[in-house]
Amino acid sequence: MQFNAAQIASLINGNIEGDDTIPVSSFGKIEQAQKGQLAFLANPKYEEYLYTTDASIIIINDSQEIKQKLDATLIRVPDAYSAFATILASYKKMITAQLNGIQQPVYISATAKIGENVYIGAFSYVGDNVIIGDNVKIFPQVFLGDNTTIDEDTILYPGVKIYHECVIGKRVTVHANTIIGSDGFGFAPQKDGTFKKVPQIGNVVIEDDVEVGANATIDRATLGSTLIKRGAKLDNLIQIAHNVEVGNNTVIAAQAGISGSTKIGNNVMIGGQAGVVGHLQIADGTKINAQSGVSKSIKTPNSYVTGSPAYDYTSALRSQVLSRNLPNIEKRIMELEQLMQQFVAEKISS
């Protein structure tokens, strides 16, 4: 596909400096881009490449100062990074829109309802009473259990498994080999030391505009629903336990784990490998640093915690400074002890 500067600028409401007819047909990083490619500059660390790149078109911030003559056509926007993301999203949508039809072999129940312009890849399974909305793209080897709903414009990448009764909203993206709706980890301890399984009869509900990375697991609720709310973004290799709620526009990085029945608020940011124990409340806007272990509810909005057990980020930084200074503190204490001993000895002798 080929686009010119004018078409790109109209998509992102940008202002062109240079030839608005110059075409591009692919994308490149600014430090490596070649003629015929589109690049962007958002990070000042890469500014030097603005003057050495061979990119034909470069998207830059409105505030970017040009210090040398450039051959490339520039498109100025308020936020170059967001604008480039918009372009990539449009490009990806155009690519996936070309996928259409049902490949063979597949199994589709006679009671399933399939919308228009749907793609279902080979070796997929669509169970009884499944509802698939318009423009859904289901890649090969996807499993959809009975009574599952997949709303319009959603993409399920290869190997995704969605158990029975789950509900997936509009414009959701689920990456390869993620499992949604497997049993929550519910076992009742018995007097003889064994564990009795507690049947998990709830489901998982994922609202609109959510993205779930590869190899993530989202467990079904014991009763009711495990809920991933609108706009949440979950990275690869994440574990979401039964009856968890993840708030609107919350982001969780790879290898984090959320234990059962914890309620995470809106616009929360959870770093990689962080762990949150069960039955907690995490307030809106909380930021949890990577590898933190959260063992108590965070009730104050916009808190910033770190460590294991996690506590206030500013206090943690002070503790780190003190820890680094311990050798000097020890030395000073020893010197003071010596001075005190010398002072006492002098007093006694006098």
Of 97, 123, 142, the one marking the end of a domain is 97
pLDDT of res. 271: 97
105 cis-preceded (ω within 30 degrees of 0):
yes
The answer to whether residue 154 is domain-embedded is no
Establish whether 279 is a catalytic residue.
Answer: no
pLDDT of res. 347: 76
Q: Are residues 345 and 260 in the same domain?
A: no
Q: Which two tokens stand for residue 71?
A: 């051959």
- CATH of residue 84: 3.40.1390.10
The C-alpha atoms of residue 250 and residue 184 are separated, in whole angstroms, by 22
Q: Are residues 275 and 342 in the same domain?
A: no
User: In sequence order, which residues have a C-beta less than 8 Å from that of residue 312 and are 6 or more positions away?
Assistant: 303, 304, 305
The answer to whether residue 117 is domain-embedded is no
pLDDT of res. 315: 74
The C-alpha atoms of residue 142 and residue 160 are separated, in whole angstroms, by 5
Of 68, 97, 126, the one marking the end of a domain is 97
Q: Are residues 334 and 262 in the same domain?
A: no
Q: Are residues 252 and 304 in the same domain?
A: yes
The answer to whether residue 210 is domain-embedded is yes
**Domain range enclosing 215:** 160-309
Which burial class, exposed, middle or buried, applies to 204 when counting CB atoms under 10 A from its CB (0-12, 13-18, 19+)? buried
The answer to whether residue 335 is domain-embedded is yes
Q: Which two tokens stand for residue 131?
A: 């509802």
Total domains in the fold of the chain: 3
The answer to whether residue 314 is domain-embedded is no
The answer to whether residue 275 is domain-embedded is yes
Q: Are residues 177 and 67 in the same domain?
A: no
- CATH of residue 205: 2.160.10.10
Task: Note the residue count of the chain.
Answer: 350
Q: Return the amino acid letter for 30.
A: I
The answer to whether residue 73 is domain-embedded is yes
**pLDDT values of the chain reduced to their tens digit, one per residue, 350 residues:** 789 999 999 999 999 999 999 999 999 999 999 999 999 999 999 999 999 999 999 999 999 999 999 999 999 999 999 999 999 999 888 888 889 999 999 999 999 999 999 999 999 999 999 999 999 999 999 999 999 999 999 999 999 999 999 999 999 999 999 999 999 999 999 999 999 999 999 999 999 999 999 999 999 999 999 999 999 999 999 999 999 999 999 999 999 999 999 999 999 999 999 999 999 999 999 999 999 999 999 999 999 999 887 767 677 777 777 777 888 888 888 888 888 888 887 777 76
The C-alpha atoms of residue 55 and residue 8 are separated, in whole angstroms, by 14
The C-alpha atoms of residue 59 and residue 24 are separated, in whole angstroms, by 13
The answer to whether residue 30 is domain-embedded is yes
